[in-house]
Structures are given as structure tokens and as C-alpha cells.
């Protein structure tokens, strides 16, 4: 997928295969865990339920796809714990007509969930192998409202800015200035900040006058955001 795709306000989502009885049971169990953790937003829960997480994990870890745990993927990266994905998606507060910028495509799992909620998702990934794998998954699922490219996530996607929502799935010492600039007035960004075990998930709001406010959400552990 690339930035030459025309804007579309609709998309199609087709499961790659019907879930087995065990997968369906595990999926229900995970959704119950998410609800008990405080995620009550029905749109977020429906999006998570509809995206087959087993498609986004390595074959060796497929049986653990619906467990509430982070799992390794290619290039030394991870697919985030579903609880963290759910809280980040909830905190982003995406509405159907919005355009969302995602920094760090990774496996494409978070991207696919956002695609169920937003008008269009722009996603940037620095690893060529990961991006190719994610794009193939998007094609298999017939998700047509995702635009992806390889690049330096710290620079955002200037040509398509501004964005009503920005989500960052890698941690930096501070929020890159380019991303703050590309956040629309009235917009929300969710991003981890800090190093190693001291990372904090922030919700950043830009008011209509451009002033920035931050809110601490939870402690997290993400791979570092690498420039270049």
C-alpha cells in the first residue's frame, strides 16, 4: 500500500479464516479480561474482537495469540500486549471521520484495529521486512483505508498532516517536535516516553490555540524510537 491511494471513507474487512472453537473461546476470555481491566468502550472492544491476532504473530507463538501478553516478531520487535493496545486505542478516542497517524507499524496489529475505527490510517515503519509483512496482512484482510510507507517515524508524515490523532508505538526520551507540529488543533496523541523500565504512556492534547497538555496514563515497556 502506498500514498498514491485515493482517500476512501469506507473499507472492507474479511476474516482470513473462521476462528476455531478454541480460538473463539480464547478470544472471549481475553475480551472479558479487557473489560475487567477497565476497558468498557464497546467500539474499542468490537475492533479488538474483529481483528484476528493470530494472523499477526509468528507461527511458533500462534497458540498464544489470544493471551494477554506481548510476543516477539521479526527484526527484534514485539507485538504489544492486548491490554496495552486496548488502553492506547481507548485513550486515542478515535472517531469514524478521523485521520490517524501511527508511528511504528510493527506487525500491523494496532494498525488493523485503528482501521476499524478511523476513516484512514497512515502508518510509518522503518524496517522493510516488517512493513512488507504488515502490508500483506492488510491485503489478506482487505483493509483499504490504510496507507503505509517506510521511513523515519520521528519525522512523521508531513505531506499528509495535520492529523486529528497520532499514536506512537516506540518510546523516545521526549516527543519528537515534528509529531507535535503535525498534530491538529484539538487533536490527541498517545505515546510512550522514557527509557527501559522507566517509560510512561502519555496522552498529549493540543488545544485550539496550539497549547500542549499532557496526562500520565500508565507505566509501559516499548522498544526505542530510532531516528533515521
Residues designated catalytic = 80
| Calpha distance 133→179 (Å, rounded) | 25
Question: Is residue 140 within 8 Å of residue 16, measured between CB atoms?
Answer: yes
> Whose grid coordinates read 503505509?
148
Question: Is residue 57 within 8 Å of residue 64, measured between CB atoms?
Answer: yes
Buried-exposed string 80-101: b where 16+ CB fall within 10 A, e elsewhere:
bbbbbbbbbbbbbbbeeebbbb
Strand 183-193 relative to strand 71-72: parallel, antiparallel, unpaired? unpaired
For residues 88, 90, 91, 92, the Cα torsion angle rounded to the nearest 10 degrees is 90
90 φ, ψ to 5°? -60, -45
Nearest Cα neighbor of 143 from 88, 102, 184, 189 is 102
Amino acid at each position: 500500500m502506498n500514498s498514491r491511494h485515493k482517500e476512501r471513507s469506507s473499507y472492507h474487512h474479511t476474516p482470513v479464516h473462521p476462528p476455531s472453537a478454541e480460538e473463539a473461546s480464547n478470544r472471549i476470555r481475553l475480551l472479558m479480561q479487557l473489560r475487567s481491566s477497565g476497558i468498557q468502550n464497546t467500539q474499542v472492544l468490537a475492533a479488538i474482537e474483529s481483528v484476528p491476532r493470530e494472523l499477526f504473530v509468528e507461527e511458533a507463538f500462534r497458540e498464544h495469540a489470544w493471551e494477554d501478553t506481548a510476543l516477539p516478531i521479526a527484526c527484534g520487535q514485539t507485538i504489544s500486549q492486548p491490554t496495552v493496545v486496548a488502553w492506547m486505542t481507548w485513550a486515542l478516542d478515535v472517531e469514524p471521520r478521523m485521520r490517524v497517524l501511527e508511528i511504528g507499524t510493527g506487525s500491523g496489529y494496532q494498525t488493523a484495529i485503528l482501521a476499524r475505527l478511523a476513516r484512514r490510517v497512515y502508518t510509518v515503519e522503518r524496517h522493510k521486512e516488517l512493513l512488507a509483512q504488515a502490508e500483506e496482512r492488510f491485503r489478506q484482510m482487505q483493509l483499504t483505508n490504510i496507507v503505509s510507507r517506510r521511513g523515519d517515524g520521528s519525522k512523521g508524515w508531513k505531506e499528509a498532516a495535520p492529523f486529528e490523532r497520532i499514536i506512537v508505538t516506540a518510546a523516545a526520551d521526549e516527543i519528537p517536535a515534528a509529531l507535535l507540529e503535525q498534530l491538529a488543533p484539538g487533536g490527541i496523541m498517545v505515546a510512550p516516553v522514557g527509557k527501559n523500565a522507566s517509560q510512561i504512556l502519555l496522552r498529549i492534547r493540543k488545544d485550539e490555540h496550539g497549547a500542549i497538555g499532557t496526562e500520565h496514563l500508565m507505566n509501559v515497556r516499548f522498544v526505542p524510537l530510532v531516528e533515521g
